[in-house]
A and B are shown apart, each in its own frame.
Chain A
Amino acid sequence: MSGRGGRSETRWAAAILAGFAVLALVPLAAPRDDVLNFLLVILLSITLAESWNIVAGYAGQVNLGHAAFFGIGALVARTLWIDGTPIAAATAAGALLATLSALVIGVAAFRLRGAYFAIGTLALGEISRTTVGNVLAEISTLPTATISTYRLTHRYYVALGLAAVSVAVVAALARSRLGLGMEAVREDEEAAEASGVGALRLKLTALALSAALAGLAGGLFAYYHISYYPSHPFSPHWTFDAVLMTFIGGVGTLHGPVLGAVLYVVLKEYLAVRWVDFHLLIFGALFVAIVLVLPGGLVQAAARLRGAWRR
């Protein structure tokens, strides 16, 4: 519906979904655990990055407590699943609770603007992590019966489906009236209000949508990992991964976070092997460089190159 990008967004969505269709063949062609694990991490990262992109890239609200929604999704899904609820229902319940908490948190946190919102959400995320860490200090391990029937391929297809849903959701948003309103709020909240945009409602919608996808990703995490500390998915590094991937690729675009996630995971794997502890430092420096030199990430770099080529 929006005049800009609408068609190019659709083309990118088609290209990415076609790529996912190819990835669906991997378990048949190369059923190797290391390959599937690696691709699964990329797909999970795409979902996390796109979900963060909705609230930060489209609605312009830099939420640094994103991990809390991922964590809530994981916590609820894991608990219900181990108690005997089917994983699909357990994940849906986790995503629902993540969405509801987003609405509650949003009503309070959206009283803050800009950097204050970022700091406020960072604090809320940390509070959730410490609370979960204190209340549930024990490691969570799947029952032996579940482990004996564990199929990596199932997790892989769930990750693929979730990444596809995230891309489809953002593509639909980018073309919609709702997405246009969010972008108006991002550009200038006061001017958006003066043009009839109910900014608070749109910001809450963006946060809820973002949290729903992050909650689903949390469900995947709970389904995928055999054992982990319940506070682990609440760790801020999930937020910062999503931030980095989105910025590297291009914040507020459909394909940016996908490119960023692929590059980030591949690079991280490579750097972690070569440089062990230095990769965090390298990513930190990369992030600063991008924000300073190329705030639009890879997508902007590509556009500039194309422009220079034509000239």
Chain B
Amino acid sequence: MSTEEPDTGYSTKHSYGPEWEEESREVLSEVDFDTELGIELARDAQRLSQGKISEEEFYSRHSDKVNEEFGIDARPTDPRSSEPLDKDTVEDALNDDVVAEPVPSKYADAANSGDGGEGGDGGNDGGGDGNGWSDDEDDGVSRRTVLQSVGVAAAGIAAGTWSQRNPSGIWDEGEERNIQPAGPGTGGDETHLGFVIDVDACIGGAHCAIGCKDENQTPDGALWNFVFQYQEPDRDSEEYLIRPCMHCSDPPCVSVCPVRARHKRTEDGIVLTDYDICIGCRYCQVACPYGVNYFQWGEPDEERWRDNFLSNHDSVDDRLDKRGKHVAGPQHEKGIMGKCTFCVHRQDSGDPELENTTACEQACPVDAIHFGDLNDPDSKPRRYLREVEGRSEEAGNLAGRDTTDPDAEWQRPRHVPRWRFQEQYGTRPNVIYVGHQPSADAEWVDEPLPYDEYVSDFGHSMTKSREGFDNAPSDRKLRGED
């Protein structure tokens, strides 16, 4: 995990679309070297970054041509022998504006976290041994010149894309190899439920949050699934971030619980709270980096929840899971903690219609949420990841296209980011996001989603007023900014 590795390649502004192609061609045509070679190198660099071709393949493919063009191929043919990428090389490439700005860690620290370090190695391997390139000056080819040709395209993408080749260990070699294993210490073959959430697909209707409330009858103000709304300065549209519990593989909430009420179910990795044991110390809530826990502060309305619950559950016994533990549904007693259960009652229902589904997934009108076993290649989330992978792949594939035709109407290629949230805390979250990741410049919209106006089918309010006891000033901050 490295926080220094620049997170680069994900801005759609600088994807490898027609604009990019145009720009690159322009720059490349100004230098004496082979434009096509530059472009091709760049494409292959991207393929390499997606794991479509191996590093050796990449080097061998172009070694001759590079030799021919520059008189020397200083790129290491044995990637393991490479030295760290020369900082100047990266910076030059960045300055040439081929790749997006690095994303520091203001909002989504995950941007810089995860296995970024690992990805960085990829960048080093392929991006070329900086020193080697510098040495070229002796051969009459200045580093700057080489960068202008190959560098604009290849080195830029190499430094950018390769360093992000696998930013958080989500996918690799076209196969989502690094999907988290199930419970701690178990192998990758076991069931581990999780979400793949396409935040770019999200339209911000909070249907998931409402669907969850209806299904689980959670307390007023509790939003087991929550949709954030934010804005990027360089994008016109509003962005959304859907936040359920991450059902972490290394959940701090489980470690800190003094009574083992919070636990991780070994058979499928769901993180649950045993409502019969929880003493309401709220330490799990404190330790969770994502703020997904909701306490039962007041006395639940017994009549209301019972009626409502029975309207979509067979019996109140649905609150017991298959182990007989009271973990499903909301916490129907005051003073205990609750959070997203991955609709454990559905998973344990024995009904194939309900198994491997969640209320939020079903409620989403645009299919942004994909729930299932992350370790099963045929599961919905894995299939969706592959589909996304395909989208990226297609975007990067120029084979058969007339790259010399300036009028060709290409579909704008799209490299779709996949990431996990705030991985730097070592929680190993099991929610994989697809789509835009909040940048350092992300800003909250002035008007957040109007949760207080949403009403669930059962009349639950999404926010909680604390009338009678709320003597807090209206300002959020304790310090009382004015």
Asked if chains A and B come from one complex, the reply is no
Interface on A for B, CB 8 Å cutoff?
none
